């Protein structure tokens, strides 16, 4: 086993009970799946995954009650820390923060990184319609930058009604990630906080395919140079979750820096058959040689998570 899966979710029973008690039974159009550490390890063993870096998916913990969101975030982070303590070879975790409560988010992030040995933090692309990179987020990003933190950006529901018959995970999530990436560059986050290592879920959404079009728009908006903006967009890390297809991979690999593409599955929101399909497509992709597969499977991730070496 050698793979490091940077896009794997945890759903502790306490969290799913909490969501269901508040009328939330699905995330992104997917029913809340069953999860356990044992099931996660079995899935990883099947697909040659040595370590899964776990994160909470949307909706996170913010349900418009700041104190409750902070308490649940702390509980989730302590569960993640215990999993890693028990099985440091099999699990890592991204800490949850209760944005949009900025003070609580800063406290949660610093506590998790400094005291719970989190491998990074997970931030939703938007919270209540405010996209990552908004100037209000600067105090949190500054704290993360000081710690050279890894930031995993996961999509959320768009701040707009869904299209009937089109679950948010199918297309809206990709747009949400693309919006967040664009907003981060629009507000100069990669230049102002250069120590952040930002991973974009699902191959960056539509970003690789539309990067030059987005760059042209940002040049007109900011007056900055074309190549500078394009390089900021290329400077993110990207995971392959649900993106190991013969149409998505060529766009991603043509755009991203070769050392910034990471393996991901999106399990358990992506069911096991889906994980098997996209992993199989990725494994068969002829555009990566053996060294390229080793880089995506493991070596690129070790630059972000050296403890896993």
The secondary structure element, H or E, covering residue 234 is: helix 226-234
Average pLDDT by consecutive 10-residue portion of the chain (309 residues)?
A: 93 96 92 96 98 97 92 98 97 97 97 98 97 98 98 96 92 97 98 98 98 98 97 98 96 97 98 98 96 97 96
Distance separating alpha carbons of residues 27 and 185, to the nearest angstrom: 27
Share of the chain above pLDDT 90, in %: 95
What three-state secondary structure class fits 147? coil
Is residue 287 within 8 Å of 252, Cβ to Cβ? no
Express each pLDDT in 127-160 by its tens digit.
999 999 999 999 999 999 999 999 999 999 999 9
Q: How does 98-133 read in b/e, with b if 16+ C-beta sit within 10 Å?
A: bbbbeebbbbbbbbbbeebbbbbbbbbbbbeeebbb
- Report pTM: 0.97
Q: For residue 64, what pLDDT is reported?
A: 84
Q: For residue 65, what pLDDT is reported?
A: 86
Distance separating alpha carbons of residues 65 and 205, to the nearest angstrom: 30
Distance separating alpha carbons of residues 103 and 274, to the nearest angstrom: 38
Q: For residue 77, what pLDDT is reported?
A: 98
What ranges make up the beta strands (E) of 23-115? 26-27, 30-31, 49-55, 91-96
Please name the residues in contact with 112: beta carbons below 8 A apart, sequence gap of 6 or more. 77, 81, 95, 97, 118, 121
Distance separating alpha carbons of residues 14 and 155, to the nearest angstrom: 22
């Amino acid at each position: 086993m050698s793979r490091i899966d940077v896009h794997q979710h945890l759903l502790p029973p306490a969290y799913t009970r909490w969501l269901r008690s508040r009328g939330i039974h699905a995330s992104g159009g997917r029913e809340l799946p069953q999860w356990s550490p044992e099931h996660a390890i079995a899935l990883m063993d099947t697909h040659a995954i040595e370590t899964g870096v776990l994160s909470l998916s949307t909706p996170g913990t913010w349900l418009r009650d700041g104190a409750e969101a902070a308490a649940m975030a702390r509980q989730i982070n302590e569960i993640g820390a215990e999993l890693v303590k028990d099985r440091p070879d099999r699990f890592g975790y991204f800490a949850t923060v209760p944005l949009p409560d900025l003070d609580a988010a800063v406290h949660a992030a610093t506590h998790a990184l400094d005291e719970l040995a989190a491998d990074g933090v997970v931030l939703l692309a938007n919270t209540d319609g405010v996209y990552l990179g908004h100037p209000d987020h600067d105090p949190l990003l500054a704290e993360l930058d000081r710690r050279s933190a890894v930031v995993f950006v996961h999509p959320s529901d768009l701040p707009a009604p869904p299209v009937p018959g089109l679950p948010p995970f199918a297309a809206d999530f990709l747009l949400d990630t693309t919006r967040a990436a664009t907003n981060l560059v629009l507000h100069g986050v990669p230049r102002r906080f250069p120590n952040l290592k930002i991973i974009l879920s699902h191959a960056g959404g539509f970003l690789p395919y539309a990067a030059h079009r987005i760059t042209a728009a940002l040049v007109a908006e900011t007056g900055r140079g074309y190549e500078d903006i394009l390089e900021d967009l290329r400077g993110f890390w990207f995971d392959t979750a649900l993106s190991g297809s013969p149409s998505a991979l060529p766009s991603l690999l043509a755009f991203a820096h070769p050392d910034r593409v990471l393996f991901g599955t999106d399990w358990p929101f992506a069911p096991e058959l889906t994980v098997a399909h996209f992993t199989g497509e990725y494994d068969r992709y002829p555009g990566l040689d053996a060294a390229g597969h080793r880089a995506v499977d493991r070596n690129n991730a070790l630059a972000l998570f050296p403890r896993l070496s």
